[in-house]
C-alpha cells in the first residue's frame, strides 16, 4: 500500500513503513549509527543575527529565494574581491562555538538568547571511490535549520530533536568546502513544542554532524524483529536505495541464530525474509541479550546489535516476552550531568542511565522529546525499557495542519531511527494536553499513523486525571483518548500543586478501563542540602515525605503496572525563578544537577527493591 504526505515542501512516499524523499532531504536514519563517517564536530565560527540581516534584505525578502542574492547573504560566505568591495561580515574573524552543543551554556551572553545564529565550518573531503555517494547527517538542530553547502541550499529542517540528512554527492568538493547553517530556536505558537514549556530552550547544533560515504546502491532502512504473531519467528524487511537492477541479492547474517540468508526479490528496492528459530534468547532487563547482525547488498555492508523481545498488554497487565512486568521507572530530561546544557554524548548517556540503574529502575521515560541516539542504544545495552515521546506538550495549535504534519514527521523520524531497539516499548503521543474536539482529532490521527508505522509497540500519553463526578475524594480518567492508547498514563501532583502531602491519605482511585496504568509523573521540589521539618516546602524532608505517602496512595490502584516519577535530576527551566531555591532550576530531581542524592532517592530505591 502506498500513501503520501507533504514534508515541508518535499513529497514523501511511504511503502511498507519505509520513507523515501523526492527532494534533497533523505530519510536514512536506521543504519547511520554504525556506519563509518567523517566527523564535522568541533569548533564552528558563528554570527549572532537577531534581525536576520544575513537572510533577508531590507524589504524582508529572503536572499535564498532570489536568482542573484546579494553578497550580504551570509550563506554565500562572501569575501571582498578588492579593498573597495563592501562585505559587512566575515565568519573567519568571529568567535567559535563547539558542535555538538547548545549555545546557551557556552557563552554567558547567549544564556537566554532565542533567535538566529549562523554556523560555519570549512572542510576538505575526498571520496574514497569516485562512484560513491556522500551524505551530510545531523543528529539534531534546535529548532529550525536552513542548510547550505558551498552556497547551495540543501534544504530546511523543522524540529529540534530528530535526525535528518542530505545527499551532497554533487555539491561536495575535494577541498575548501564551506558548510553554513542558519539555526533559529525562537519559540512559535504553531511549533512542536509550542510557546510554553517547562525546560530550557537550548539552541544550536546540539548533536553530531557527520559525513557518511556509501556505495552507489545501499541499504536505506531495515526492520529486524520478532513476529508479532509467532514469537519464535524473526521477520526482516529491507529498503534499498538506487538498486543495481542486475539480480542483486541481499544477505542477512546473524551468526548467534545460525541465520545466513541470501534474499531475492522481484521488487528491486524491497526485500523480505522470515525464519523460525527455537533457541532465541529474548532481550529483557535481566538479560539484555543482543545479537550481532550483518547486512550486505552489493558493496554496501553494515553491522548492528539487535535484541529480540515481545511487548503487549492483556487486560491490566503489561507482558514482556509473555510475562507480566512492573515498570520501575524514572523520567529523564536530556541535560548533561557532566557540563550542564543539552546532553549529547555517550558519556552523558552512561551517567544518566547509570543513575537510573542504581535507583533500581528497569524502565525510563525520556521526556519530553526524542533524546539522542546514544541514550536509546545505551538503554539497549543496559537492559532498560524505554518510553519515547515527541513534544506534543500542553497547548499545541491543534487546528493547524502544519502543526499536525510537524508532529507526524517527528514521530515518523524517531520510529525510523529506533525501530530495531528492543528497549523502546512505548511511543507517547502527548503530555498533559487538555481535552477538546480538535485535540482528540489531532491525537487520534497521530495514533493511527503511529500504529500503521509500527504496530509492534505500545501507545500511551500522559493524560490528565480528574475528580470522579460521583465519588467523593476519588480520581478517575475520563479522557476519550484513553480508549485509543494501550497503556493508561497520567501525571498527578497531589501534595505539591494539589494540596499538601496529607491529602494523599484521602484520595482513592476509580479507573474503570481494563488497561494497565502507569503513573507517568509525580514529585515535589527540594533543594539539595536544604533541611527542615517534613511539612516545610523545598526541604529534602518534604520531598521524602511526599514520596512515602504517594507510593502508599498509588499502590491502591488495582491496575498499577508502573511509575516514572518526576524526575531523575534537577534541570534548567526559565519558569523556575525562586531565588536561593530554584535559581532557574526545576528542583524535582531525586539528584541535584551535580548528581548529589536527595533523601527521596532512597525512598524510591527501597520501593523498587520490594517490587
Closest residue by Cα to residue 14 from 235, 313, 237, 305: 237
In a domain, 117, yes or no: yes
In a domain, 17, yes or no: no
Closest residue by Cα to residue 16 from 35, 4, 27, 2: 2
Residue 25 is predicted with a pLDDT of: 45
Over the stretch 69-115, which tens digit does the pLDDT of each residue have? 888 899 999 999 999 999 999 999 999 999 999 999 999 999 999 99
Residue 474 is predicted with a pLDDT of: 95
Residue given cell 557556552 in the structure block:
106
In a domain, 16, yes or no: no
- Does 317 have pLDDT greater than 50? yes
214, 243, 271 — which closes off a domain? 214
| 8 Å CB contact between 491 and 522 | yes
Closest residue by Cα to residue 527 from 604, 606, 608, 600: 600
CATH code, domain carrying 285: 2.60.40.10
Mean pLDDT for the chain overall:
93
- Does 13 have pLDDT greater than 60? no
Q: How confident is the model at residue 9 (pLDDT cuts 50, 70, 90)?
A: very low
- Does 10 have pLDDT greater than 70? no
Residue 30 is predicted with a pLDDT of: 56
Total domains in the fold of the chain: 3
Task: Read off the C-alpha cell for 490.
Answer: 497520567
In a domain, 14, yes or no: no
| 8 Å CB contact between 279 and 261 | no
441 and 473 fall within a common domain: yes
Number of other residues whose CB lies within 10 A of the CB of residue 265: 17
| pLDDT, mean of residues 322-335 | 98
CATH code, domain carrying 90: 2.60.120.260
290, 307, 324 — which closes off a domain? 307
- The 10 Å CB-count burial string (b at 16+, else e) for 278-306 is eebebbbbeebbbbebebbbbebebebbb
411 and 477 fall within a common domain: yes
181, 214, 247 — which closes off a domain? 214
Q: How confident is the model at residue 4 (pLDDT cuts 50, 70, 90)?
A: very low
Cβ neighbors of 586 (< 8 A, separation 6 or more) are 198, 199, 525, 567, 570, 571, 572, 573, 575, 576
Total length of the chain: 611
191 and 329 fall within a common domain: no
HSE, CB side, 13 Å, CA atoms: give it for residue 22. 10
250 and 105 fall within a common domain: no
DSSP symbols for 91-107: GGGS-EEEESS-STTT-
Partnered with residue 272 across adjacent β-strands are 237
What is the percent of the chain where pLDDT is above 70? Answer: 95
| pLDDT, mean of residues 383-394 | 98
270 and 328 fall within a common domain: no
Cβ neighbors of 314 (< 8 A, separation 6 or more) are none
User: Positive or negative CA dihedral for 343, 349, 354, 357?
Assistant: positive
Question: CA-CA distance, 32 to 34, in Å (whole number)?
Answer: 6
Q: Does the predicted TM-score (pTM) go above 0.85?
A: yes
Over the stretch 156-175, which tens digit does the pLDDT of each residue have? 999 999 999 999 999 999 99
DSSP symbols for 383-427: T-EEEEE---BSS--TT-HHHHHHHHHHHHHHHHHHTT-TTEEEE
- Does 12 have pLDDT greater than 70? no
Containing structural domain, residue 530: 312-610
524 and 556 fall within a common domain: yes
| 8 Å CB contact between 527 and 587 | yes
In a domain, 177, yes or no: yes
What is the percent of the chain where pLDDT is above 90? Answer: 90
205 and 222 fall within a common domain: no
Over the stretch 18-38, which tens digit does the pLDDT of each residue have? 323 333 444 454 578 999 999
- Does 14 have pLDDT greater than 50? no
| 8 Å CB contact between 308 and 284 | no
Task: Read off the C-alpha cell for 261.
Answer: 540468508
| pLDDT, mean of residues 263-289 | 94
252 and 355 fall within a common domain: no
191 dihedral zone (left: phi>0; alpha: psi -120 to 50; beta): beta
Question: CA-CA distance, 59 to 21, in Å (whole number)?
Answer: 33
Task: Read off the C-alpha cell for 117.
Answer: 545564529
Residue 5 is predicted with a pLDDT of: 30
In a domain, 74, yes or no: yes
| 8 Å CB contact between 415 and 428 | no
| pLDDT, mean of residues 540-556 | 97
507 and 403 fall within a common domain: yes
In a domain, 23, yes or no: no
In a domain, 346, yes or no: yes
Residue 266 is predicted with a pLDDT of: 83
Over the stretch 406-464, which tens digit does the pLDDT of each residue have? 999 999 999 999 999 999 999 999 999 999 999 999 999 999 999 999 999 999 999 98
Helix (H) or strand (E) holding 272: strand 270-276
Amino acid at each position: 500500500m502506498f500513501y503520501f504526505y507533504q514534508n515541508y515542501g518535499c513529497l514523501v512516499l511511504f511503502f511498507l513503513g519505509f520513507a523515501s524523499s523526492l527532494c534533497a532531504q533523505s530519510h536514512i536514519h536506521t543504519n547511520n549509527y554504525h556506519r563509518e563517517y567523517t566527523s564535522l564536530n568541533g569548533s564552528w565560527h558563528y554570527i549572532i543575527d537577531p534581525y536576520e540581516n544575513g537572510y533577508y534584505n531590507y524589504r524582508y525578502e529572503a536572499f535564498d529565494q532570489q536568482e542573484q542574492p546579494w553578497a550580504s547573504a551570509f550563506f554565500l560566505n562572501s569575501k571582498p574581491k578588492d579593498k573597495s568591495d563592501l562585505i559587512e561580515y566575515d565568519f573567519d574573524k568571529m568567535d567559535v562555538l563547539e558542535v555538538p552543543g547548545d549555545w546557551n551554556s557556552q557563552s554567558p551572553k547567549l544564556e537566554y538568547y532565542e533567535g538566529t545564529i549562523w554556523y560555519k565550518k570549512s572542510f576538505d573531503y575526498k571520496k574514497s571511490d569516485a562512484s560513491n555517494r556522500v551524505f551530510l547527517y545531523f543528529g539534531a538542530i534546535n529548532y529550525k535549520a536552513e542548510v547550505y553547502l558551498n552556497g547551495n541550499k540543501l534544504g530546511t529542517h523543522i524540529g529540534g530533536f530528530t535526525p535528518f540528512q542530505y545527499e551532497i554527492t554533487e555539491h561536495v568538493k575535494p577541498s575548501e568546502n564551506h558548510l553554513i547553517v542558519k539555526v533559529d530556536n525562537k519559540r512559535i505558537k504553531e511549533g512542536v513544542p509550542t510557546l510554553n514549556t517547562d525546560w530550557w530552550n537550548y539552541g544550536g547544533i546540539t548533536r553530531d554532524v557527520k559525513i557518511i560515504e556509501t556505495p552507489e546502491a545501499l541499504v536505506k532502512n531495515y526492520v529486524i524483529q520478532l513476529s508479532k504473531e509467532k514469537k519464535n519467528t524473526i521477520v526482516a524487511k529491507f529498503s534499498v536505495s538506487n538498486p543495481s537492477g542486475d539480480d542483486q541479492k541481499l544477505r542477512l547474517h546473524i551468526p548467534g541464530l545460525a541465520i545466513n540468508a541470501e534474499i531475492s526479490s522481484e521488487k528491486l528496492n524491497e526485500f523480505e525474509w522470515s525464519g523460525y528459530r527455537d533457541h532465541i534468547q529474548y532481550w529483557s532487563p535481566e538479560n539484555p541479550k543482543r545479537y550481532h547482525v550483518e547486512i550486505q547488498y552489493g558493496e554496501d555492508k553494515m553491522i548492528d546489535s539487535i535484541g529480540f523481545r515481545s511487548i503487549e498488554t492483556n487486560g491490566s497487565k503489561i507482558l514482556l516476552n509473555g510475562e507480566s512486568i512492573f515498570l520501575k521507572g524514572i523520567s529523564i530530561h536530556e541535560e548533561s550531568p557532566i557540563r550542564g546544557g543539552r546532553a549529547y554524548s555517550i558519556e552523558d548517556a552512561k551517567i544518566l542511565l547509570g543513575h537510573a540503574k542504581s535507583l533500581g529502575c528497569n524502565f525510563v521515560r525520556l521526556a519530553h522529546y526524542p533524546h539522542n541516539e546514544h541514550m536509546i542504544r545505551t538503554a539497549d545495552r543496559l537492559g532498560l525499557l524505554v518510553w519515547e515521546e515527541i513534544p506534543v506538550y500542553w497547548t499545541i495549535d491543534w487546528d493547524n495542519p502544519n502543526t499536525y504534519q510537524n508532529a507526524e514527521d517527528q514521530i515518523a523520524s524517531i520510529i525510523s531511527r529506533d525501530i530495531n531497539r528492543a528497549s523502546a516499548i512505548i511511543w507517547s503521543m502527548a503530555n498533559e494536553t487538555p481535552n477538546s474536539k480538535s485535540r482528540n482529532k489531532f491525537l487520534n490521527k497521530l495514533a493511527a499513523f503511529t500504529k500503521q508505522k509500527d504496530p509492534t509497540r505500545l501507545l500511551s500519553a500522559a493524560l490528565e486525571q480528574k475528580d470522579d463526578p460521583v465519588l467523593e475524594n476519588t480520581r478517575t480518567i475520563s479522557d476519550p483518548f484513553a480508549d485509543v492508547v494501550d497503556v493508561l498514563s497520567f501525571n498527578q501532583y497531589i501534595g505539591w500543586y494539589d494540596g499538601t502531602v496529607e491529602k494523599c491519605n484521602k484520595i482513592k482511585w476509580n479507573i474503570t478501563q481494563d488497561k494497565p496504568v502507569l503513573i507517568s509523573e509525580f514529585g515535589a521540589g527540594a533543594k539539595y542540602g536544604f533541611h527542615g521539618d517534613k511539612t516545610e516546602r523545598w526541604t529534602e524532608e518534604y520531598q521524602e515525605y511526599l514520596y512515602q505517602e504517594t507510593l502508599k496512595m498509588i499502590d491502591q490502584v488495582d491496575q498499577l503496572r508502573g511509575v516514572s516519577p518526576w524526575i531523575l535530576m534537577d534541570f534548567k527551566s526559565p519558569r523556575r525563578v525562586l531565588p536561593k531555591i530554584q535559581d532557574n532550576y526545576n528542583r524535582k530531581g531525586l539528584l541535584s544537577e551535580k548528581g548529589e542524592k536527595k533523601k527521596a532517592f532512597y525512598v524510591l530505591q527501597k520501593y523498587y527493591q520490594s517490587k
